[in-house]
Amino acid sequence: MPWVKGEEFVDLKQRFEGLEIEEKPTLTTLQVPKAKLIDLLKTLKEEKGYKLFLDHSVVDFPDKRPRFQAFYTLYNVEEKKRVLVKTWTDGLLPSIEKLWFAGKWAERECYDMFGIQYEGHENLVRAFMWETYQHYPLRKDFPLEGYATEYLPSLNETLWGENLQGLMNYDRMHTQVPTLEDLEITERRRLQKKAQIVLNWGPLHPGTHGTMWFLFDLEGERVYQCDVILGQLHRGVEKLAENEMYNQFLVYTDRMDYLSALCSNQAWVVAVERLLGIEELVPEKAKYIRTMMAELQRINSHLLWLGAYALDLGALTIFLYAFKEREKLMDIIEGITGARLTISYTRVGGVRMDLPEGAVEVIRAFVKRFPKELKEWETILSRNRIWLRRNVGVGVISKEDVYFYGLTGPVARGSGVPYDLRKFEPYDAYGWVDFDVPVGESGDVYDRYLVRLEEMRQSLRIVEQCLHALEKMPKDAPFFAESPDPKKLKLPLDGIGLKVPEGEIYSSGENPRGELGFYIYSTGGVKPYRVKIRPGSMYNLCVYPKLMKDRVVADAVTILASLDPVVGEIDR
């Protein structure tokens, strides 16, 4: 387990009055009064080496006083240890933006979702909702269906009014939606014009890879300042998680990072398994299958990134080459799981079904021919003079920036931080297979490109080893966890009856876009009390305004594509 031992913090007990250290099998927490919070975090960052900021959010307890429990997840990259810092508040917290910039975005999200005020936050604006929205959706007293005070009627409603017949005549409850005026107010809150023109880049723009809304304040073609408006794809996944059973929530993880659904599935079920304490019970075969499928999905996701990235830089042909290979992967995944995009293949305790006949051979054929294709593309791009001039030295992220902005995944590795959860906290079969973690040197866009290409090769290595292990297993090996006592632990497919004990856990998986973490707070029962998702894409994106400063518009696509955000995961 990567959680720190409690005894390491005994010396802090004298310095911080009221510090409580709690060590559970799932995580280690430090609880501290609000007044001491900033000091403690600073000590952890500067003296104890917990430099990488992972996550921050709050849990709402409407019946308790103070009402909100805030938590901060930190990581010590050198010693490979995690710690969770907790504090209680009634709606006011000190801001940590001086310690970690990523905290600024996390705080904006908490302000948006819970109405927490932050002292010393420079720009406390809503993260996802628009500025004129009155409510705080993740509070427990916010109804699941939203408030039907104001809404845009559908075309049918406008035409037929109350005369809608049959299925159309449902009880029309709408969540409030922003009008054009609301959006203009939001836009003005986000960016004060200082240079020549403000260019609205998005929300519907081919360069943003999704519905993100960027504001560029341009001086000629030079970006003077830049801001991001999120929330175009906000669906309240965390709110939904509180109202779904553990296995039911699995399908929502598909729809977060829709390009790497299998990896998200895996991260979620591993988190639930750890919370249940049945990680050991999951059969070896299921673990190998999960690992192999996740790695295929990683290649799939990186292929889409490569295609879109080359397209952004004008190399149109690579896009089609990459998509051709991706199509084959999609076919393989479809043949095994039955779905192409939103897959939901894994289950708590195993996988939904065994590998079909011939799957191993098909994957073997793919593994054999894919490196040749990869080499061909590299011939076109990697040493291409134009490609180098567009990429080298653009969007440089230093190691300190990685910690300061909470970057993970290939973005962090491109800057030379070997942070890979598959190595640090091996889940499923990652502990049993052999692979390398590629890291970059200078941290520019070109390094991130090379890292991702190499990751595809390493993924192939993992897939090969998984295939080897799977072939050796007997055909009727179990692919689903079975309890030693058949009456005690039942893990039916639909998830009903999956009773999870009280407890909390922060568990994460290595997604193609960074660390996808789940903080699950369970009060027992079939539904989680609170699920905080740590989206890799969102924290990776928070470095974007900094990188864009004093760059030209043409670099906007280069840098954005190299951070590779997926809006479904950012907005959730």
Residue numbers of the site for another protein (CB under 8 A)?
Answer: 197, 199-200, 205-207, 218, 221, 310-317, 320-321, 324, 380-381, 384, 386-387, 389-390, 552-557
Q: Between 150 and 376, whose beta carbon lies closer to another protein?
A: 376
Helices H / strands E in the chain, number of each = 20, 15
Q: Residues in the chain, how many?
A: 572
In angstroms, give the least distance from the CB of 511 to another protein: 24
- Judge contact between 526 and 499, C-beta under 8 A: yes
In angstroms, give the least distance from the CB of 552 to another protein: 7
Q: Between 83 and 310, whose beta carbon lies closer to another protein?
A: 310
Pairwise CA distance, residues 397 & 546, whole Å: 10
> Closest Cα partner for 554 from 397, 322, 395?
395
Write 493-499 long-range contacts (CB < 8 A, 24+): 493/247, 493/347, 493/352, 494/247, 495/245, 495/246, 495/247, 495/248, 495/250, 495/348, 495/526, 496/245, 496/526, 497/526, 498/245, 498/246, 498/247, 498/348, 498/526, 499/524, 499/525, 499/526
Pairwise CA distance, residues 20 & 69, whole Å: 14
Q: Between 332 and 559, whose beta carbon lies closer to another protein?
A: 559
Pairwise CA distance, residues 43 & 15, whole Å: 10
In angstroms, give the least distance from the CB of 410 to another protein: 20
CB burial of residue 530 (10 Å; 0-12, 13-18, 19+): buried
Q: Between 317 and 483, whose beta carbon lies closer to another protein?
A: 317
In angstroms, give the least distance from the CB of 214 to another protein: 11
Residue-by-residue DSSP string for 323-386: HHHHHHHHHHHHHHHS-SSS---EETTEESSPPPTTHHHHHHHHHHHHHHHHHHHHHHHTT-HH
Q: Between 206 and 492, whose beta carbon lies closer to another protein?
A: 206
Name the one residue in this structure whose structure tokens are 């989206």: 535
In angstroms, give the least distance from the CB of 444 to another protein: 15
- Tell me which H or E stretch contains 448: helix 445-472
Q: Between 19 and 322, whose beta carbon lies closer to another protein?
A: 322
Q: Between 168 and 554, whose beta carbon lies closer to another protein?
A: 554
**CA angle at 548 for the pair 210 and 186, rounded to the nearest 5°:** 60
Q: Between 248 and 382, whose beta carbon lies closer to another protein?
A: 382
What letters, b where the CB count within 10 A reaches 16 and e where it falls short, cover 144-163? eebbeeeeeeeeebeeeeee
In angstroms, give the least distance from the CB of 205 to another protein: 7
CB atoms within 10 A of CB 428: 26
Looking at residue 38, what DSSP letter applies? H
In angstroms, give the least distance from the CB of 314 to another protein: 3
Tokens of 500: 């999870």
Edge-to-edge strand order for the sheet containing 530-534?
A: 500-511, 514-525, 530-534
In angstroms, give the least distance from the CB of 163 to another protein: 33
In angstroms, give the least distance from the CB of 184 to another protein: 16
Q: Between 397 and 556, whose beta carbon lies closer to another protein?
A: 556
Q: Between 372 and 488, whose beta carbon lies closer to another protein?
A: 372
In angstroms, give the least distance from the CB of 58 to another protein: 38
Q: Between 222 and 364, whose beta carbon lies closer to another protein?
A: 222
In angstroms, give the least distance from the CB of 321 to another protein: 7
